[in-house]
Homo-oligomer: A and B are copies of this chain.
Amino acid sequence: MSSTLSPAKLRRKIRSGEYTGNTSGLVPGFVQCNIVILPAAYAHDFLRFCQLNPKPCPLIAVGEPGAAALPALGDIDIRSDVPGYRVFRDGQVTEELTDITALWRDDLVTFALGCSFSFEEALLADGLEVRNVTQRLNVPMYRTTLDCVAAGPFAGKMVVSMRPFRAGDAIRAIQICTRFPAVHGAPIHLGDPALLGIADLAHPDYGDAVSIGETEIPLFWACGVTPQVALAAARLPLAITHRPGCMLVTDMRNSQLAVL
């Protein structure tokens, strides 16, 4: 896949079924989103959940009820423009699909949430080393003992991602990510993982363990897996998300998310 592809061209390949893979590293410079699709009956509670927990659930766009378009993010048909979907029924994954047109209903509401790809790009652009990128691994993610603020059926513990840095780079990483609240923002914790209830960094709950140097400090960011955990726990009759790693690629530039 050419790295100079435009987001719209990539979405056309995805829409046609020509591309159904991971979107990590594709069309650099553009925002990729976590996707959650719910019946309208649950949409208000989920929106409140995002509003109450903005660090793990940074909302970038919400679709009109029944609309497959997300005009703020590009010429998008959310039923076919994500490379892979997961369908949840009563909290269980029942299908993995590459197109959900057949499941679409006029009461479905789409939520697009920020993703760490955007801030990782900003860190790399500043010359910082992002360990999971260097090691070509999925970022390690951990369930914490921190409770999200509940909204209706949506509740659960916060999930965090971890990236290790030496102290000076850790300070720089905090500065850079502070500019990007729409993609999880600054870390929520640094240092001792036990203070978050994490027993062993070598055994993440999701993703892969990465190496940590002797003089490095682990930095922990609120993670977009948090809303997925809350969604599964809510056991809705129907919910649809992107398949992990297969994000919605938008026309929005990462730099547009910078608050400064």
- A residues with CB within 8 A of B: 167-168, 170-171, 174-175, 178, 186-192, 195, 215, 217, 260
- A195 lies within 8 A of B167 (CB): yes
Contact for A174 among B175, B192, B217, B260, CB less than 8 A: B175
Contact for A190 among B171, B186, B189, CB less than 8 A: B171
Complex interface: chain B residues within 8 A of A178 (CB): 175, 178
Q: How far is the CB of A214 from chain B (nearest CB, A)?
A: 10
- A195 lies within 8 A of B171 (CB): no
- A189 lies within 8 A of B168 (CB): yes
Copies of this protein in the assembly total 2
Contact for A187 among B171, B188, B215, B260, CB less than 8 A: B171
Complex interface: chain B residues within 8 A of A191 (CB): 167, 191, 217
- A190 lies within 8 A of B175 (CB): no
Complex interface: chain B residues within 8 A of A174 (CB): 171, 174-175
A203 to B25, CA, bound (A): 49
- A217 lies within 8 A of B190 (CB): yes
A217 to B167, CA, bound (A): 11
- B190 lies within 8 A of A167 (CB): yes
Query: What 8 pairs across the A-B complex have the smallest Cβ distances?
Result: A167-B189, A174-B174, A167-B190, A175-B178, A167-B191, A191-B217, A171-B186, A171-B174
A90 to B243, CA, bound (A): 71
- B215 lies within 8 A of A188 (CB): no
Complex interface: chain B residues within 8 A of A190 (CB): 167, 170-171, 190, 217
Q: Which of A190, A195, A217 has the most CB of B within 10 A?
A: A190
Q: How far is the CB of A143 from chain B (nearest CB, A)?
A: 18
A46 to B57, CA, bound (A): 50
Q: How far is the CB of A252 from chain B (nearest CB, A)?
A: 23
A170 to B191, CA, bound (A): 10
A189 to B171, CA, bound (A): 7
A217 to B178, CA, bound (A): 20
Contact for A171 among B168, B188, B215, B260, CB less than 8 A: B188
Q: Can you name 20 A-B residue pairings with CB atoms under 8 Å?
A: A167-B189, A167-B191, A167-B192, A168-B188, A168-B189, A171-B174, A171-B186, A171-B187, A171-B188, A171-B189, A174-B175, A175-B175, A175-B178, A175-B186, A178-B178, A191-B191, A191-B217, A192-B215, A195-B215, A260-B260
